Amino acid sequence: MTNTTQHSASRLKCREEALLGSALLALVIALIVFVVQQPKPAAAAEHTPAPDAVTRYLSPVALQLSPNGQRLYVVCEDSDVVLVVDTSSQQVIGRAEVGKRPKGITISPDGNSLYVSDEASDAVTEIDPQTLAIRRTISVGWGPVGLVTDRAGTTLYVANTLGGDVSVVDLPTGTEKKRLHAGRFPEYVVLSRDGSRVYVANLLARLGPPDQPPVSELTVIDCAKQQVTARLDVPGVLQLRHITELPPAAGSFLLIPFMRPKNLNPLVQIQQGGYLTHGMAVIRPSTTSAGEARDYQISELLLDDIDHSYADGFGAATTPDGHWALVTASGSNIVSIVDTSRLRTLLLNSTPTRRLELANRLDSANRFVTTRLPTGRNPTDVVTSADGRFAYIANRMDDSITVLDMMQRQPAATIDLGGPKRLSRIRRGQQLFFDASHCYQGQMACATCHPHEGLSDGLAWSLETPQLGRDVVENRTLYSIEGTEPFKWNGKNPDLETQDGPRTAMYIFRSQGFSSSEVDDLVGYVFSLRLGRNPHLAADGHLTDAQTRGHAIFFRDKTNSGAPISPLQQCPTCHSPLTHFTSKIQIDVGTATKYDTITAFDVPQLEGAVMKPPYLHNGEALEMEEIWTRFNPEDKHGLTSDMNKAQLNDLIEYLKTL
């Protein structure tokens, strides 16, 4: 090889190396740029939680089996979907998107239509159960939850919680034919086995004097007349939930879970059901065609044991032969299995006096409850298969389904519905809200007194008072309370952490209560509770003439005769619209009674006022009108004595829109 050749080869080699080096350099630079442009990884949840708004859990709340039992339809309220589970493979095989906040489901008698209630849409969605196609949406009343068709499949009955009524829908035309007045917050319905009646369970007790025991109502609708023919008194209880009817061979009883409060007693002793107990109403229906209330026999039995409670009964179902009944305890993650033959024996062998005693006996459940099985968190609805072999339970806070083997009466499987696995702060708080395990003997959860995710039970309670029987105060809702501190009617709790932390532990749960991180999660959840759409306010926010006049009255600073109104007597002074219509002060409005040790009370927010009866600190004003017609004789609660009836009506119409 000559020098020239060697030099050329050397130069070629250098060029190649340069090119290779350039390429490598370019690759490195490209990699650096790529890495730099990648989004920063999310920090650990414990330190910087991801936004909860983007995490949609499923929260299964209602179940429906197909007639052949091959499909289980699952209503998921927090994700606005209905999932379909193949019961053989126990896999989710389909999904349908429905309206806002679906709560209930039913299937037509021929199995060809599914109906889902969309609580926040005031509508019912009809779905093809095979294709999951949405066929139509039917407008109903306010806040629909429970629904059922008649035996012919031509009429749909829908319980409207906020409206306090039942929509009767003609299915062929998809239109509402009429509305029937129900009780207070009607929630779940069931068609009687003979198809002659629809029973409606109302969540809240009737409005009544705060110093009297509550009385709940089971509304009975005659399907032939499509009219309410009876309103049964279920005394001393509230939160009637799902209804199941035993077959005739088992006595035809209706079983309905309830909560029995001891709110008239000062809450000083919690053990052995000292604050409240949980049980079920056992109702033998009327056999007469007239079906008047007096023809029904109503008994009440407790499901709690003497040393442990099974909080917040929710779902109820029966095996096809009627031998077993199942009742979920949504606060205790338990399902109680009832031997109905023992139940029937107990009732038949009891005198009427004895049956009354049974309503408060904590030693009776073991006579008819044979098994208590664990479920997932917050079990809600329960259904049984047509062959009686299986039962399915919706675990709302776990996004799962518990499958029970009813032959063995043991848990058989848990179906994962595929919800998000990582728990957000709000989700953890939501789980705690429904969990009674932090309370002594598992007696109650937050949801026990604040059912339906933050509503008030509407009762006055005698809580942690230095003087027994004094300072009885009305329960309050939890919607949109962020920014309305202090809390408690005496205004002594500066924040919700104090309310849910030491106060709850010491006076309500009588236990260690929640840990500090749990309190933080719980507060996060409670603050996330928002008022839903207010049906009294038009969707576009436009006020009616009456509401406009009421708005003017609320903000007036002169009387009808033109005299100036003292700022202390003007509504916005204490109910500032800038801070959720509460100025967050304590003030004497002349409503203290001889049983109160204080005269100044924390100003409640007015948002959602229409959902909060009764009113005033002690619940004495059953209707909003009474705040001023009966309890404001000296104009200390605003200057209202110069107003005429029309003006008061207008003011109330405005307040209902908040």
Partner 1 sequence: MKLTMNANKITSVLRTALLSVALPLAVLPCIHAQAPAPDRATQPVLYMKWINYTAANGFPAGEVYCVTVDGTRVWAGTSHGLVLLEDGRVKKVFSPEDGLVGRAVMSIAVDQQNGDVWVGTFGGLSLYSGGKFKNYTNLTSGLANDLVYGVAFQGQFLWVATAAGVNRLDTYTGTWSIFNESNAPFEEPWAYGISVTKEKVYFAVWGGGILAYDLAKQTWRPYTDPDGEMEIVLYRNQGLIHNIVSSVTYNPDTKTFWASTYFGLSGYDGRNWHNYLTKDSGLASNFINAVQSRGDDVWASTQSGLSQLDTRTNTWITYSRDQKTGRGGILITSADGSKQRVATETSLAHNYILNTAFQGNDIWVATAQGLSHGIHAQSKE
Which parts of this chain interact with partner 1 (CB under 8 A)?
141, 163, 165, 177-181, 219-220, 225-231, 292-293, 535-536, 546, 622-623, 625-626, 629-630, 644-646, 648-649, 652-653
CB of 197 or CB of 580, closer to partner 1 = 197
Of residues 206, 216, 311, 200, the one with CA closest to residue 254: 200
Other beta carbons less than 10 A from residue 36's beta carbon: 7
CB of 525 or CB of 615, closer to partner 1 = 615
Query: Would you state the torsion angle of the CA atoms of residues 217, 220, 221, 223, taken in this order, to the nearest 10 degrees?
Result: 160
- The nearest distance, CB 43 to partner 1, in angstroms, is 49
H/E run at residue 356: helix 352-358
- The nearest distance, CB 208 to partner 1, in angstroms, is 12
CB of 52 or CB of 295, closer to partner 1 = 295
CB of 249 or CB of 646, closer to partner 1 = 646
DSSP state of 154: S
- The nearest distance, CB 437 to partner 1, in angstroms, is 39
- The nearest distance, CB 552 to partner 1, in angstroms, is 15
Burial annotation 554-569 (CB, 10 A radius, 16+ → b, else e): bebeeeeeeeebeeeb
- The nearest distance, CB 451 to partner 1, in angstroms, is 22
Classify residue 288 as exposed, middle or buried by CB count within 10 Å of its CB (0-12, 13-18, 19+). Answer: exposed
What is d(CA 556, CA 572) in angstroms, rounded to the nearest whole number? 9
Compute the radius of gyration of the chain from its Cα atoms: 29
CB of 468 or CB of 646, closer to partner 1 = 646
Of residues 138, 113, 114, the one with CA closest to residue 124: 138
Burial annotation 106-140 (CB, 10 A radius, 16+ → b, else e): bbbeeeebbbbbbbbbbbbbbbebeebeeeebbeb
- The nearest distance, CB 244 to partner 1, in angstroms, is 22
- The nearest distance, CB 553 to partner 1, in angstroms, is 14
CB of 131 or CB of 227, closer to partner 1 = 227
- The nearest distance, CB 299 to partner 1, in angstroms, is 20
CB of 313 or CB of 614, closer to partner 1 = 614
CB of 594 or CB of 645, closer to partner 1 = 645
- The nearest distance, CB 630 to partner 1, in angstroms, is 6
- The nearest distance, CB 292 to partner 1, in angstroms, is 6
Query: Would you state the torsion angle of the CA atoms of residues 132, 135, 139, 144, taken in this order, to the nearest 10 degrees?
Result: -20
Q: CA angle at residue 179 from 174 to 183, to 5 degrees? A: 135
CB of 297 or CB of 629, closer to partner 1 = 629
Q: CA angle at residue 190 from 186 to 194, to 5 degrees? A: 145
DSSP characters over 185-218? EEEEEEE-TTSSEEEEEEEEPPP--TTS--EEEE
- The nearest distance, CB 574 to partner 1, in angstroms, is 23
- The nearest distance, CB 232 to partner 1, in angstroms, is 9
In contact, 144 and 123? CB cutoff 8 Å: yes
CB of 233 or CB of 307, closer to partner 1 = 233
Q: Which two tokens stand for residue 491?
A: 């205004």
What is d(CA 211, CA 622) in angstroms, rounded to the nearest whole number? 12
Q: Which amino acid is at 254?
A: L
CB of 502 or CB of 535, closer to partner 1 = 535
What is d(CA 500, CA 480) in angstroms, rounded to the nearest whole number? 16
CB of 230 or CB of 406, closer to partner 1 = 230
Q: Which amino acid is at 604?
A: P
Q: What's phi and psi for 99, nearest 5 deg?
A: -80, -165
H/E run at residue 171: none
- The nearest distance, CB 404 to partner 1, in angstroms, is 37
Task: Please report the beta strands in 462-606, taking only residues with DSSP state E, as ranges in sequence order.
Answer: 473-474, 586-587, 601-602
Q: At what angle do helices 425-433 and 516-528 cross, to 10 degrees?
A: 90
CB of 13 or CB of 630, closer to partner 1 = 630
What is d(CA 460, CA 464) in angstroms, rounded to the nearest whole number? 13
CB of 182 or CB of 383, closer to partner 1 = 182
CB of 219 or CB of 443, closer to partner 1 = 219
DSSP characters over 380-430? EEEEE-TTSSEEEEEETTTTEEEEEETTTTEEEEEEE----SSPPHHHHHH
- The nearest distance, CB 629 to partner 1, in angstroms, is 4
- The nearest distance, CB 389 to partner 1, in angstroms, is 39
Query: Would you state the torsion angle of the CA atoms of residues 7, 13, 18, 20, taken in this order, to the nearest 10 degrees?
Result: 170
In contact, 121 and 139? CB cutoff 8 Å: no
